Amino acid sequence: MTRALALLLGLAAPASAALTIDASVNKATVALDDQVVLSVTVSADAASLPEPELPSMPRFNVHSAGRSQSMTYVNGRISNSAEYTYVLVPRLIGNTVIPPVSVRSGSESAQTGPIAVTIVRPNEAPPPAAAPPP
């Protein structure tokens, strides 16, 4: 039975894992006494996912804040996605760019685009957007 299941899974696996990666931040302007949350999502049509490779970010102290993962198997096709969350604590004032985050699996690789972030003095940060009146 286990061998038949392994054979079925092997036949259902696509030739390419369709590896993708996406990154976003919760704000583009951050005060020196605040933090930015970087969310990185890795997806593939495969049972296992590689972890993202973070670039050097000298203007931030970087802290991992966890990961969530979901996997589906529908009509013989596996879809797998994991979201990695990082807290970036700014260290230096000025305009900066979070370089592309990359991921590799076998011969496949993918990377995000760069993300611009402005780090300002604590009293220069824009106020949070007010919600529209009901």
Rounded distance between C-alpha atoms, residue 8 and residue 28, angstroms = 46
- In terms of phi and psi (left: phi > 0; alpha: psi -120 to 50; beta: otherwise), the region of 106 is left
Rounded distance between C-alpha atoms, residue 116 and residue 22, angstroms = 15
E-state strands within 10-100: 20-25, 29-31, 36-44, 60-74, 77-90, 94-98
Contact (CB, 8 A) for 86 and 53: no
pTM for this structure?
A: 0.78
pLDDT for the residue numbered 125: 56
pLDDT for the residue numbered 43: 93
Q: What is the dihedral of CA 111, 112, 116, 122, to 10 degrees?
A: -100
Mean pLDDT calculated for residue range 15-24: 80
- Burial class of residue 22 in the structure, from the number of CB atoms within 10 Å of its CB (0-12 exposed, 13-18 middle, 19+ buried): middle
Residues 67-96 pLDDT 10s: 999 988 888 888 899 999 999 999 999 999
Rounded distance between C-alpha atoms, residue 127 and residue 104, angstroms = 39
